[in-house]
Amino acid sequence: MFDKILIANRGEIALRILRACKELGISTVAVHSTADADAMHVRLADESVCIGPPPSKDSYLNVPALLAACEITGADAVHPGYGFLSENARFAEILGEHNLHFIGPKAEHIRLMGDKIEAKKTARRLGIPVVPGSDGAVAPGDDAMAIAKEIGFPVLVKAAAGGGGRGMKVAQTAQDLALALSTAANEAKSAFGDASVYLEKYLQKPRHIEIQVLGDGRGGAIHLGERDCSLQRRHQKVWEEGPSPALDAAQRNRIGGIVAKAMQEMKYLGVGTVEFLYEDGEFYFIEMNTRIQVEHPVTEMITGIDLVLEQIRIAAGGDLPATQDQVQINGHAIECRVNAENPVTFRPSPGKILQYHPPGGLGVRIDSAVYQGYVIPPYYDSLVGKLIVHGKTRAECLMRLRRALDEMVVEGIETTLPLFRALVRETDIIDGDYHIHWLEQYLAGQT
Ligand code: ADP
C-alpha cells in the first residue's frame, strides 16, 4: 500500500479523496493555489504545498510544481480526482518516469479513450453498440454531405477531443451542415488544439445512461450498474440517479455484461465509466471516461462499494472488492449538483457563504468542501456541493430528497437549490419520465 498520497485537485473531490486516504491510514498531501489557501482539504491534510497562483494552468495543471511537491513531501502516489490532469495520459507517464504511482488507468487506455474517434472504434471492436455515424474523422476533402445523408439528418458534429459538451453542433437539415462543421471544428481547435470532428446520428429523445466499471488491470473487471444522467443543461449533468427509472434488471445485466467483458479484454485498470445514449430499448456508446466521476456517490450508495478507496487499493495492486455475483443493487439514490449560480439565468455567483446548514438524517449525504464563512473563488467550477439521497425505493428517495432540499441552507451567494426544490415536485420527474432535452425544455417553459 502507498505511504503518502498527493491529492492533485481541489474542492469537494480533494476532500473526498482525503477521506478515503484517512480510512486506509495513508498520509495526505494537499496542494493548492494561492486562491485556495483556506480550503477545507488543505486544513485537513497532513501536509500542504502551495503550487502557484489562481489560474489552473499555473497551479492545478502545473506538472513541474506537482512533481516538486511530491519530491519535497516524499509522496509515493498521486490521485488526480476529476478534471484537471485526471485524463492526461502524458501526466500519468511522467509520474511513472519519476517512480511515482498515478492512481488511475494505464496511460495507453487514457490516451485511447481521450480520442473519441478511437474510443468508438475500440468500443465497436469490443462488441459494444455505438451511435451510427462516420467511420472516423471527417476530413476537409471528404464528402461530408454524402456521409451525413447516409446517416440521415439530423446529424451531430462532434469534436474528437471533445469534453464538457464543447465542440458539438447539430445540423438539423442539409442546409445547416457546412456551418455546423466549421463552428464545431473552430470551437474544438480553440478549446482542445485539435480541429478533428466526426459525425453522429443525432438522437431525438434518448436518455443518458452510463455504466460504472472497475478493473484490476490483469483481466478481471466487473460492472456496478448504471447511473441515469439525462437531466442536463448545455450537455452538463445536473441531476443523476441510479438505478435508471427506464431500465429493468434484465436490461442492466445485458449491457453491464457486455461492458464488463470489454473491460476484461482490455485489461482495464481502476474505475471508469462507459457512457451510452438509450432510446427505444437500444444502447449506443458515446464515450468512456477514464477517471472517477462527479456522480460516483450514486453508485456508492446503491452498491455499498467505496469507489475512491477501491481506486487506491487497486492502483496499489489490490484485487477487485467483489465478484460480479456479489454486486447487489440496493434501493435508489439521487444526486443533485448544487452550484453557485443563479437558478434562472445560471450566471455564476461566487462569493462568501454567510450561512451554511447542510441537511442530515437517514439516507442523506453531502459531499462538499464549503463551510460558513468560506469564499467561493471565481477561478474554478461553481460546485458548492453534491446532495446525495438514498432510499429503499425511488419513491422513498424522492420523499427524503424533498425534505433534505427544504432543510439545506446556503446564504450569501445564489445557488441552484430553488431549481432542485421545483424539480423534485414535477410530475415527469416523479414519474421518472424524462430524456436529455427535458430540462432545457422545462427551463424554456415548454413542458
Ligand atoms: P462530452 O465529452 O463533451 O461530455 P459526450 O459525448 O459525453 O460529450 O456527450 C455529452 C452529451 O451530449 C450527452 O449526454 C448527450 O446529452 C449529448 N449527445 C452526445 N451525443 C449525442 C447524439 N449522438 N445525439 C444526441 N445527443 C447527444
Q: What is the mean predicted confidence (pLDDT) over 34-38?
A: 97
Q: What is the mean predicted confidence (pLDDT) over 162-183?
A: 93
Mutate to test the pocket of ligand 1, among 115, 118, 120, 168 (most ligand atoms within 8 A of CB): 168
pLDDT above 90 for 295:
yes
Percent over 70 (pLDDT), the chain: 100
pLDDT above 90 for 183:
yes
Q: Which atom of ligand 1 is nearest to the CA of 275?
A: 7
Cell of 371: 463551510
Quickly list DSSP for 19-63.
HHHHHHT-EEEEEEEGGGTT-HHHHHSSEEEEEESSSGGGTTT-H
Q: With left for phi above 0 and alpha for psi between -120 and 50, is residue 235 left, alpha or beta?
A: left
Q: What is the mean predicted confidence (pLDDT) over 154-179?
A: 93
**What are 207-258's pLDDT values in tens digits?**
999 999 999 999 999 999 999 999 999 999 999 999 999 999 999 999 999 9
- The whole-number pLDDT of residue 22 equals 98
Q: What is the mean predicted confidence (pLDDT) over 387-410?
A: 98
Mutate to test the pocket of ligand 1, among 235, 244, 274, 436 (most ligand atoms within 8 A of CB): 235
Pick from 157, 102, 135, 77: nearest CA to 290: 102
Nearest CA to ligand 1 atom 20: 286
Residue 234 CA, ligand 1 centroid: distance in Å: 10
Q: Given pLDDT bands bounded at 50, 70 and 90, which one contains residue 313?
A: very high
Residue 113 CA, ligand 1 centroid: distance in Å: 15
Residue 286 CA, ligand 1 centroid: distance in Å: 7
Running DSSP on this structure, what letter comes out for residue 341?
B
Question: CB within 8 A of 396, min separation 6: which ones?
Answer: 331, 332, 363
Q: Which 3 state secondary structure label does DSSP give 3?
A: coil
| Residues 39, 413: Cα–Cα separation, whole Å | 17
**What are 417-430's pLDDT values in tens digits?**
999 999 999 999 99
Query: Are 275 and 289 spatial neighbours (Cβ–Cβ below 8 Å)?
Result: yes
pLDDT above 80 for 267:
yes
Nearest CA to ligand 1 atom 15: 235
Cell of 149: 445523408
Look-up: residue for cell 457563504?
Answer: 353
Helix residue spans in 152-231 (DSSP H): 177-192
Nearest CA to ligand 1 atom 18: 235
Query: Are 116 and 162 spatial neighbours (Cβ–Cβ below 8 Å)?
Result: yes
Nearest CA to ligand 1 atom 17: 235
CA 376 centroid distance within chain: 21
**What are 124-147's pLDDT values in tens digits?**
999 999 999 998 999 877 789 999
Residue 206 CA, ligand 1 centroid: distance in Å: 10
**What are 345-380's pLDDT values in tens digits?**
999 999 999 999 999 999 999 999 999 999 999 999
Q: How far is CA 370 from CA 10, 75, 92, 353, in A?
A: 11, 26, 29, 8
Active-site hit among 291, 313, 337, 365: 291
Q: Given pLDDT bands bounded at 50, 70 and 90, which one contains residue 163?
A: confident
| Residues 322, 183: Cα–Cα separation, whole Å | 46
Q: Interhelix angle for 144-151 vs 177-192, to 10°?
A: 110
- The whole-number pLDDT of residue 143 equals 87
- The helix or strand, by DSSP H or E, that contains position 410, with its residue range, turns out to be strand 409-411
Residues with CB under 6 A from ligand 1: 131, 156, 162-165, 200-203, 208, 232, 235, 275, 277, 286-287, 436
- The whole-number pLDDT of residue 300 equals 99
Q: Which amino acid is at 116?
A: K
Residue 137 CA, ligand 1 centroid: distance in Å: 17
Q: Interhelix angle for 107-114 vs 116-125, to 10°?
A: 110
Cell of 274: 462507459
375 against 162, higher pLDDT:
375
pLDDT above 80 for 149:
yes
pTM: 0.97
Query: Does the interface predicted TM-score (ipTM) exceed 0.90?
Result: yes
Q: Which atom of ligand 1 is nearest to the CA of 232?
A: 16
Residue 85 CA, ligand 1 centroid: distance in Å: 22
Residue 3 CA, ligand 1 centroid: distance in Å: 39
291 is catalytic: yes
Q: What is the mean predicted confidence (pLDDT) over 193-212?
A: 96
Averaged confidence pLDDT in the chain:
97
Q: Which atom of ligand 1 is nearest to the CA of 286?
A: 6
Q: Which atom of ligand 1 is nearest to the CA of 200?
A: 23
Q: Given pLDDT bands bounded at 50, 70 and 90, which one contains residue 446?
A: confident
Q: Which atom of ligand 1 is nearest to the CA of 167?
A: 3
**What are 114-123's pLDDT values in tens digits?**
999 999 999 9
Nearest CA to ligand 1 atom 21: 202
Q: What is the mean predicted confidence (pLDDT) over 261-284?
A: 98
